Each structure stands twice: as structure tokens, then as C-alpha cells.
Amino acid sequence: MTDSEPQFFNRELSWLEFNQRVLDEACDPSVPLLEQLRFLAITASNLDEFFMVRVGSLLTAIRRGDTSMDLAGLTPLEQLSAITGRAQQMVADQHRIYLTKLEPALAEVGIRRRRPFELNERQSEFVESVFQEQIQAVLTPIAVHDPARFPLLFGRTVNVAVKLKSRVPGEQFRFAVVPFGRFDLRYITLPSGGGYEFILTEDVIAMMAERFFPGEEVITTVPFRVTRNADLSVSDDDGADLLAEMEDVLDYRKDSFCTRLELSDQATRPTLDFLKALLRLGERDIYVVPGPVGMSDLIQLADVSGFDQLLYPSWTPCESPAVTPGESIFEIMKSQDLLLHHPYESFDPVLRLVSEAAEDRDVVAIKQTLYRTSRNSPVVRALMRAAENGKNVTAIVELKARFDEARNIEWARQLEYSGVQIIYGVRGLKTHAKACIVVRREAQGFQRYIHFGTGNYNEITARFYTDLSYMTCNRELGNDAIAWFNAITGSSQIQQFAQIESAPIGLREKLLEMISVETDRARNGDQGRIIIKLNSLADPDMINALYKASQAGVQIQLNIRGICCLRPGIPGLSENITVTSVIDRFLEHARILYFHHGGDERVFISSADWMPRNLDRRVELLVPILDENCKRRTINILKACLRDNVRARRILPDGSSEPPDAMPTRPWRSQLEFQRRAREAAEAAFERNRTTFVPVEPSGL
């Protein structure tokens, strides 16, 4: 490579290329039609969060005059300029795919969007009643006399700008806004003779806008939607005030500055100028679209009932063959380590560990981290029961888990009320590690039952995120887990562990050491091999270490779902590095690390991606898989992901991606293979249990 070429790809542009890979699924004819629609909605939702967080962060940096450069040598203003061009193209592609491909295809199979002029008499009468009974009753038009005094418009909700002929002498027109606010009726289901027909609520408002403004002439109505900055920080110097401060942050997000305006291409120049002034936006921040604004709402259509043939076949996670139904999870874990591969295998053993611990009279303590949980979390409920049953329960609840803050605040209050000792994370850091420790009094002493995971304690996402759970009674891992947890809750200095490593102290150094070992072996003529599966790779130290390893001859295979700032396949820099990304039905989420280590293979799972925030500003865990059976299985999972030639994309040196062969000689789709393996293992275990007779012996009275 030339000296002028950057060695790193820009993080934000890399993320947009990841979102493009997701968007590619929305126009892949091999993907079921409603799943294509779901992928399209996901890309729109992803883009919402991108503008809320990443663009918000860049705009904040520009406002304070920050001219520092990123890894690719771009200032915040240069990054924003590059992002804008790429994002505008992506939004145009989203609408092109929806309007020219998906919407016509959906209409052919009976899912039809009706415009106002397409309604039949019965449908018109129905829309009239919905408008009168719901829309007009709930929504409130607001006249705009002074943009500076206009009420708040919520982010990520649809609004309709109404241009009215003015009755004031010398004034041609005036504006009003009909905000949807928390009104969730975006798609109105219409009566039909078959299939599913609907109309957009904003189209109904356009039909009947005069009802909001009796006696006035409506000139135009234009749907629009704003995205607001969500990159807001808190000072967590005082834990007692952190909960209250997080609530203030949630309130501030509602009226933080706008980062994007989406509006219909029906907008005239006066309407556009009015919205720019109202929202204090520049031309760069405006995205004019030919279709519905807020395409993330299309997820609702993807879930419409009666069209199962347009979806992936339903998948119910299989029971792990190592977990015998009805047997205590404590007995199972004492007999063997467990490795669970979600969502192919059920998350239930993890839930059972916490639930049984809550009721078991011999359990004396539970220590748990909570980052993202479900709305009705059985894990949280079990912790509350455990505390009410007299167990010593401590939970580290991360209040700063972005977009889950409100839920975590509510859980923290309920847990505290139940008697759980709550720690609101760690000062200056986010606690992102996933660990649960159960301490049980047994005949031989106190036994530790440990769960380490790559994903959250969320039974909902465990059904569509691919993650690993490692459940063990290994003494060294148990001692390390206790020492790690107590160091966090006690604000103590983390000591050297026997097996695990933790960020922000030790984990980066451990990873660099493992890469260095492979590098040195390759330089000495031995085999050097590294396989890494992550969500994101953006840390410059880690990337540079991989570059050096590649130059020494280490064969490096990376499976990176999202951001990848490393440029693979460049002669003299990274010719021994390949990067693939798997985008499929389930969200690839597991972090798995493999180092050949001279044949003494080292395998780890981790909660951390290789990004500065994870390695320096979060509490993370790196856990070795010590059990040989679990290690072999983890390696097989890694290799299966690398073998994918159906849903894997190869990342190119410029950060873009190359699709797999259209017609591979031997198709290998890793997620389908994992489903097959899980199903066959569960069926074999069922047959073994069905043909095994266990006598019930007398109690010896």
C-alpha cells in the first residue's frame, strides 16, 4: 500500500456499510417476502439510532470546535460530510426497494396499501368513523405563530405539517402541525374481501384535514419526522444521585437538538423553509423521501397475521441434550460444564439457575450483572424472590445502558424495594459484562455455580440473537468470578486473576499478549493462527497488533458482523487477514476468540467487542473455555461461521463487501446448520431418555 493511504477505515462509514449488508437482505429474492420487509425496517431503525448517537456526537463535536482527526484522518466535519452523502444514498435505496419491489410484491400476495383515491365505499365509511372516533379525538392541531414558542415534537414520531390559506390581510398562508405524539395508530386496517389492506394515518389526515380547521382552506399537508440527539452523558460521581440524573437525561433527550428531518417529497419550498426554521436545521440535515417517512414502522406490517408462508419457518429453541428435564440444574452443573448455543438451544437453563437458586434453601447468595433485560424479566423476578426468601442478593444494574435506561431505573427501584442490594454500575464506566454467581452451601463446603455469557440476561433477545452461555462449577473460574464481582461492588483494586480477565484493567493486555504469542511463533517458523468473531473491530492498538501478526505470517480469520476499521488483504500490511460478515435471520452477537498457541489451543468467550469504549471505558469479561468438550464445540461453531458461503459477505479493503457466489457448488448456511445440529441433538437425547427406564425405589421406611 502507498504511504498516503490510511491504514484504517472510518468507523461511521464502516457502520453504514454494515447497514448496507442488512439492506441487501431486503432485496434478496431467496429471503421470504415479509422477512425482506423486516430487514428493510431494521435498516431504518438502525439508521435512526445512528443519527441519534453517532451523528449527534459529531454535531456536538463540531459545535464545540473540535477539529481532531479519527483513525482514517478525518475531522468531525469531514466525517459528517462523508456520512451525509452515503446516508442520503442509503435512504434513497430504502425507498426505491420499498416502492418498486416490496410494495408491489406484497400487493400481489394480498397485502395492499390503499391511497385515499383507491378506497371503495365501504372503506371510505370505515375511514370516516376511525377519523371521527379516534384520530380527531386524540390528535390535536397546533398553530404555529412563533417557531421559538412551538411545543415539543417528539423524536421518531410522525407529524403532519399543514399549510393553510391565511385570512390575515397581506399574508398568503399560515402553518399548523398535527403531531402524532404517542399515538401508535400508524397503519389503519381496512375492511376487505380478502388479504390485508391498510391505509396510512397521515393519508387519512390529508383526506380530512379540513375537519381540524373548520372554515379554512387547506393548501397542502406534508408528513415529516424528526430525529433528536441522544448522545448525552451524565456525571456519576455520586451514586446516590445517578438514578435521578439519568431521569433528567431521559427528559432532556425529548427536546435535545435535531439531527435529521425526514419529509415527504410533496413538500413545497415554503413548507421546507418553515420546517427548517421550526426545527433549526440546515439543508444537510434534510432527507426528502418519495415514500412513507419513518420506515422503521414497517416492522408492524412484517408481523401481520395470516401470512406465515411469507416468513421464515418458525423456530423454537431446542432443549440442550446435556440438560435433563426435571433434574436440578445444580446437579447437572456439578456433573459437567455446559455450553449453550442460543437461539438454537434454549435459554431456559440460565433462567433455571436463577429461579432454582431463588427457592433452594441451601443457596446463600446470588451475585448478578444486569445490562439489558426484558420488560417482564423472569431473571429480575427471581432475584426479587430470592431476596424476599432471605438470600443475600446483589445486582449491578447498569443505568447507562443506552435506550434501556428507563426500564433499568424501574427495575432498580423494584429490586431495592424487595431487599436486593443494588449497585448502579461503576463510576466512569459502563458495566457490560454478563455474569451470574450462585453460592450454595453443600456437604463439602460452599460451591460456586457460575454463568458467563456473551449476551444479555434477556429471554426475548435470546430467541433471535446468536450467543454463547458457559455454565460451570470450575473452582478457579468460581474464585475469579467472586473476586471480580466483589472488587467492582467494593470499589477495590482488581487483583490478578487465575483464569479470567476484565476490562478496563487487564483485558487489553491479555489480548495483545495472545496476539504477540502467535506473532512470535510465526516469526520462528511455527504455525500461527487466530480466529476472532466479534460484533465490531475499531480499536487501533488491536488492529495494529493484527497487522503485525499478519506481516509475520499469522493466518488470521475474522468474522465481524458490524463495524470493521481494519483493512484486510492489503499487500505488505494485511495480506494474511480475511474478514467475513454473516447477516442472516438471527443477529450474530457472540464474541469468540481462538488462538492456536502452538497446538495448545486457547479459546475464550467475551462480552467485549474490540473497540476503545469496550476495552477502556467499560467493565467487560474475557473467559476461557476450560472444559475440553465445550472447547471443541466452541471451535466447531467458529469454523462453521467461517465456512458460510450463502449468507457471509467478504469485506474488501475499501470497507465495502462482496456477496457470496450466487450458486455455490456446496451451499453452506451456518445458521441453518446450527438449527439442524440442535434439532438432531435434541431428538437423539429425547430418544435416549424415552428408552431409559429408571426404577422408583421405596423410601426405606
Partner residues linked to 440 by β-bridges: 363, 447
Question: Is pLDDT of 168 > 90?
Answer: no
Does the annotation count 596 as an active-site position? no
Closest CA to 370 of 378, 358, 361, 360: 378
Which grid cell sits at 298?
414497517
Q: Is the N-terminal amide bond of 223 cis, ω within 30° of 0? A: no
For the chain, where do the domains classified as CATH 3.30.1840.10 start and end? 11-310
What would the mean pLDDT of 619-637 be, rounded to a whole number? 97
Quick one: CA dihedral 88, 93, 95, 96, positive or negative? positive
Q: 238 falls in which pLDDT band (50, 70, 90)?
A: very low
Q: Is 230:53 a contact under the CB 8 Å cutoff? A: yes
Alpha-carbon distances of 438 from 295, 336, 366, 478, 495, rounded to whole Å: 44, 16, 5, 9, 21
Residue-wise pLDDT tens digits, 476-522:
999 999 999 998 887 666 678 999 999 999 999 999 999 999 999 99
Q: Which residues fall within 8 angstroms of residue 37, CB to CB, at 6 or more apart?
A: 26, 102, 106, 298, 301, 302
3-state percent helix, strand, coil for the chain, nearest multiple of 5: 40, 20, 35
Rounded to a whole number, what is the distance in angstroms from the first to the last CA of the chain? 83
Average pLDDT, the chain: 91
Q: Which fold has domain 502-685?
A: Endonuclease; Chain A (3.30.870)
pLDDT at residue number 150: 76
The DSSP code for 494 is P
Closest CA to 437 of 361, 354, 374: 354
Closest CA to 246 of 237, 257, 233: 233
Q: Which residue has the cell 440438560?
A: 323
**Coil, strand, or helix at residue 307?**
coil
What would the mean pLDDT of 238-267 be, rounded to a whole number? 68
Partner residues linked to 367 by β-bridges: 394, 437
Q: Which of 95, 341, 342, 432 is catalytic?
A: 432
pLDDT at residue number 240: 47
What would the mean pLDDT of 259-263 be, rounded to a whole number? 95
pLDDT at residue number 642: 94
What would the mean pLDDT of 152-174 be, rounded to a whole number? 88
Partner residues linked to 587 by β-bridges: 465
Q: Which residue has the cell 423456530?
A: 315
Query: Can you list the alpha helix ranges (DSSP code H) found in 459-566?
Result: 475-489, 507-523, 540-552
The CATH architecture of the domain made up of 329-496 is 2-Layer Sandwich (3.30)
Residue-wise pLDDT tens digits, 583-623:
999 999 999 999 999 999 999 999 999 999 999 999 999 99
Closest CA to 204 of 135, 141, 292: 135
Measure the CA dihedral 490/491/497/499, to 10°. 80
Helix/strand/coil (H/E/C) assignment for every residue in 648-676: EEEECCCCCEECCCCCCCCCCCHHHHHHH
| 11-310 CATH | 3.30.1840.10
pLDDT at residue number 257: 87
Longest CA span, the chain: 103
For the chain, where do the domains classified as CATH 3.30.870.10 start and end? 329-496, 502-685
CB atoms within 10 A of CB 417: 10
What would the mean pLDDT of 287-294 be, rounded to a whole number? 95
Question: Is pLDDT of 407 > 80?
Answer: no
